Structures are given as structure tokens and as C-alpha cells.
Amino acid sequence: MKKLYPYFVVIYMFVGVSISFSQTEQKPKLVVGIVVDQMRYDFLSRFMPFYGKGGFKRLVDEGSNFTYAHLNYEATKTAPGHASIYTGTTPFYHGIISNDWYDKKSKKSVNAVADPNYKSIGSNGVDEPSSPNKLFSTTITDQLKLSNNNNSKVIAISFKNRGAVLPGGHFPNGVFWYGTKTGNFVSSSYYMNELPKWVEDFNKRKLSDKYLEKGWHLSQPVKNYSISAPDESENEADVFKEGKTSFPHLFNNVKPEDRYSVLANTPHANDLVALLAKEALIHEKLGKGNYTDFLAISFSATDYIGHSYGTNSFEIQDAYIKLDSLIADLLVTFDKNIGKGNYLLFLTSDHGGLDTPGYLTKNNLPSGGLGTNDFSKSVRSFLSATFGNDKLIENISNRQIYFNREEVEKAGLDINLLQKKTRDYIRDNFPVISTIYTRDNLEGSNATREPLNPTLNSFYPNVSGDILYSLKPGYLTNMLLQGTTHGSEYAYDTHVPIIFYGWRIPKQTINTPVYIVDIAATVADLLNIAAPSACIGIPLIKK
């Protein structure tokens, strides 16, 4: 038996190595999450003739394309969108009800990720520090690290802070966003005490300044943009102070102190994010270890451009043409560094956007504004006349009314009666408002995967208001004459791409309804790890 012992050792070692190798091969080396801010689904199909073969077309042709994917809640904004993608749930559970909201304790507006308890890292204190402390669910990136005792690496990069902070989850290895006051990528003391050397070296290259010198020029001949509205349009903002809205766009007339923030309104903002993501891939050795790593990338420029120029502009079309080239380059980079078929990638958006309101009204299509000031004055006057108190309303924001509970108690009023009277007055006097809910209508119910009640799915009891209302399709709280916005439960805001590509992803096109919350559930299922703590999504890819 003693003579056989070495052979048993060899066999044991071989089996052990085989098992270890098998476990490694059963998971991708890297997961890449790409979020394109304000990307309506139709931007994928509408601009497809102008895309190259290696970007969006490659993902659609070789991956699983879900053509009828929607957000399942009303708060279709950047922070709730990123939170919902990565938690697999809605604001009802994760708590991010908007980009900013009224805080009943401090009686001030608070930002979804801004956190004064920390310090900005890499900006000499001039940029706002951030943290994920207002996010009340775990993320798929959290779950990946929890699954293997923190051995996976998670890096999140975006132009916007919320586009990096929320995908990164609660204990990532690095989260970086662009500081519009310095032109550098920054972080927060929540994550680190100093920037990694590779980020510092990237900042030293001063690429922002080089892009400022280049300006923004069309990628293709003017004739290719005939599907968009005229280049010179009164429905577009003069972001560059040029006295015009047509190409090319140069920074000559932009104040020096404003140039880094104005850079956000160009595709160069996406260039910077993509370049830093490639640096992260190399210097953090993502996908090179024994455990699956995660790289979260959010492209924000498309949102800034949409807000300034609208959905029908030369600018938005050119932004997607340029983004297509960026994605193609990233895919080639992943192929070379990780290996084609060794990485799992998804591409989606945090929300869509309304067709340019000025363009809609010009063509006699339904659009308009509620008029926030008039609405506020009217409701306040009604309550004052009805209850003899002009301080009952504490705040109106995000299409929500917050009552002053101290004043309500002082007046001896029944809060439910106050809610009902206010609801009835709004319903009878503001025809552009389509639905109205009181707090007691929503409390006691639970969010659902299907958007049976988009307002309920956006409601978080601790921070939401007492009255919540929605507007008719095409209508805004205040009419916009230039650019566009988002934030409704309608298809133009909820219909977004969901594409899975790469590791064990079949080639298929599916048009059955799926939802943004299904992304995290799908990734968790493919990786054989636990889904995020409040996930209500379902897996979309059959094994």
C-alpha cells in the first residue's frame, strides 16, 4: 500500500486540478455591463444603416436581442435606471426614486449618490463626493463578490457619478467618474484614499484639453443625416454659444471655466470613458484571474446631447454613429485581451426619451406642459381656502406633493381627508394629469415585475410624497422649447435595448415582453450565483 501512495497522490492531484479547471471554465472570465444613457430602442434600428459591422450590428447579429424590453416603473431617470439594472428590482425596493428628491428629515433636496460624509478623491476637493449609501438592495456586482469571498474584481466607470456609483454596488474595487470642474476622472473616499496610479497617469495625459481643441464634426456625409430634423433648428440649444445650432461645434466661445462641463454634450465624453475602461482592463488585469471579474461602463454623453438637441437632431444621430465605432473598438479589445467567447456582455439603457417636444407641437402632435408654478399656486390656494392654512404643502417635486405633517397635526386635520380633497381638486382642474395616487392608495401593496402600476413600482414609502401624479403622453411638468427630457411611464421613455452577447449566449431575436429588472436575474442565473437581495426579475437566457 505504501508503494501505491504516490500514485494516489498523483491521481488526486490530477482530479483536483481537473475539477478546479472545470469550475473555472463554467463561468466567463469577465462580465461587461454597458449602459447607454437615454438610448431609446428605436435608435438601434433607426440608425442601423449608418452603423459599421463591428459594433451594434455585431451584438444584434451574434447575440440575444430582446426587441420589446421596457422599464417597468414611472421614474425613468438616470439614477433609478442604473439602480434597477444592477439590482434587478424597482425603486419600490431599492429606494432610488429619482436623480434627486425631497428629504423629509432635512427638508432639503438630496442627490441619489452625493454624500457629504466622504471626500472627493482626485479633484482637490472641488468635485462632490459620492457613495451608494442610499441604495437599499444589493447589486449583481455585490453578489458576484459575495459568491467567492470578495475574490472577483469590480470596476465601474462613467462620465456621470451616478452612472458609476450605482452599478459598482457597495464594495467594488474601483469606481470612477468625470470631474467637470477639473477635467479629470475622480472617485470618493468611500472607495479609496487615493487614485490608482493608472488613473492618475490617465489624468496626466490631459485628453480633455485635446478634445476641446478638436471640437465636434460630423462622422459621415451630410446626406446621411436626412432622416433627422434640419441641422439648424430652433428646437435645439446653442450649447457652444456660437449663435447657431448646426455643425461643426467648437469651444471657442465657451468660457474656459465651463468647457469641461460642456464637453459632456459631445461624443468625446464617451471617448474618455471608453479609453479609461480599456486602461482598467489592462492595469487591473480584469479577466486574468481564477474568478469572474466585472467591468461596468456607462456612456453618458448621449443623455446630455438628447437633453440639449432632442431625439430628432443631427447631433443625436452622429453621437450614436460615433458610439457604434467605440463599441466596435471595445469588442475587439475584449476579444484580444479576454478571448472571444470568454466574456459575457450586456448592453441596455437606463431610460429612453420623449420625441423633441418642440418638434411634436410644430407637427400638431400631442405635447405640452403642466406649468409647475401655476399648478403649485393653484393647489396651495385651494388648500388654504378649504382648510384655512397656507402652510399645509411643504414641497412639490418629481410630480409629488409632500404635506407638512407638523402643520397638519397643528390644524387637527385628518391626513387621509387632506389627501383625498387634494386628489379630487387636481383631478377636476388639471386635464393634462392622467393618474393621481394618494399615499394610502399605494401603501400596503407590493411592486411587481410586470408594470401593472408604474407609479407603485416607483414608490418608496420612506422618501416618496403624499400625492403622486402622472401626465398624459407627450406632456411635461414644464414645456420644453429646446431639446427633450424623460421621466414618464410611456413607451418613449420605457422602451430600451436589452442585448446579451458572448459567453454561452445564443443568436436569437425575441419580441416577447421583458423588463429591465430581468438583466441582473439573467446574469446571476448564468453565473450560478444568488440574485441581488430584492431582485424581482427572471432569467431570459435558457441554459
Q: Show the DSSP H helices in 162-225 as ranges.
A: 162-168, 197-204, 207-214
Q: Which of 444, 489, 498 is nearest to 470 (CA)?
A: 489
Catalytic residue flag (residue 141): no
How far, CA to CA in Å, does 37 sit from each of 111, 271, 357?
18, 14, 19
Q: Rounded to the nearest 5°, which phi and psi values hold at 141? A: -70, -35
Cα–Cα dist 250/246, whole Å: 11
Q: Rounded to the nearest 5°, which phi and psi values hold at 372? A: -60, -45
Partners of residue 476 on adjacent β-strands: 369
C-alpha cell at 506: 445564443
The residue from 78, 139, 180, 485 that is catalytic is 78
DSSP per-residue letters across 451-503: -S-HHHHH--TTTS-SEEEEE-TTEESS--SSS----SSSHHHHEEEEEEEET
Partners of residue 179 on adjacent β-strands: 184
For 338, other C-beta atoms within 10 Å of its C-beta total 22
C-alpha cell at 19: 475539477
C-alpha cell at 67: 426587441
- Asked if 259 and 212 count as a contact pair (C-beta separation under 8 A), the reply is yes
C-alpha cell at 450: 410586470
SS3 of residue 509 by DSSP: strand
Paired sense of beta strands 508-510 and 475-476, if any:
unpaired
Cα–Cα dist 117/307, whole Å: 31
For 16, other C-beta atoms within 10 Å of its C-beta total 10
CA 92-98-99 angle, 5° bins: 145
Partners of residue 34 on adjacent β-strands: 297, 347
Cα–Cα dist 453/150, whole Å: 37
DSSP code at position 256: G
DSSP code at position 440: H
Q: Rounded to the nearest 5°, which phi and psi values hold at 477? A: -60, -35
DSSP code at position 364: T
C-alpha cell at 222: 451630410
How many Å separate Cα 293 from the centre of its chain? 21
C-alpha cell at 504: 454561452
C-alpha cell at 539: 432569467
Cα–Cα dist 35/230, whole Å: 28
C-alpha cell at 490: 410611456
Residues recognised as catalytic: 78
